[in-house]
Amino acid sequence: MKLTAKHKAILASYGRSFLASALAATSIGGWDLKAMLVAGLSAVVPVAIRALNPNDIAFGLIADHAKIELDKLAKPTKKKTAAKKK
């Protein structure tokens, strides 16, 4: 299975959340593996909820369609300008 840019972004988001919480748990409670895992998993849950949200345009179920529409809106349109008469 080849990872797309979207999949890499999702995995990076999960990884950052997990790592930040595991490090916070370590700084508070020492090297308690169970505390680090629980803290890390607790941080991943909101990211997973965001991924399951069909209205989230970044990682949600409509992300691909939303990107296409946003790209269409971002393209500049050529307008005809009337030449000024002197």
What region does 30 belong to: left with phi over 0, alpha with psi -120 to 50, or beta?
left
Question: How many domains does the chain divide into?
Answer: 1
- In order along its 86 residues, the chain shows pLDDT tens digits of 788 887 888 888 889 989 999 898 888 878 888 888 899 899 888 878 887 887 777 766 666 666 677 778 887 766 666 666 65
Q: How far apart are CA 19 and CA 11, in angstroms?
A: 12
User: For residue 43, how many other CB atoms are within 10 A of its CB?
Assistant: 19
Q: Would 12 be classed as within a structural domain?
A: yes
Q: Would 57 be classed as within a structural domain?
A: yes
Structural domain that includes position 23 = 5-65
Residue 1's pLDDT is 74
Residue 79's pLDDT is 61
Q: How far apart are CA 52 and CA 36, in angstroms?
A: 25
Rounded to two decimals, what is the model's pTM?
Answer: 0.56
Q: Would 17 be classed as within a structural domain?
A: yes
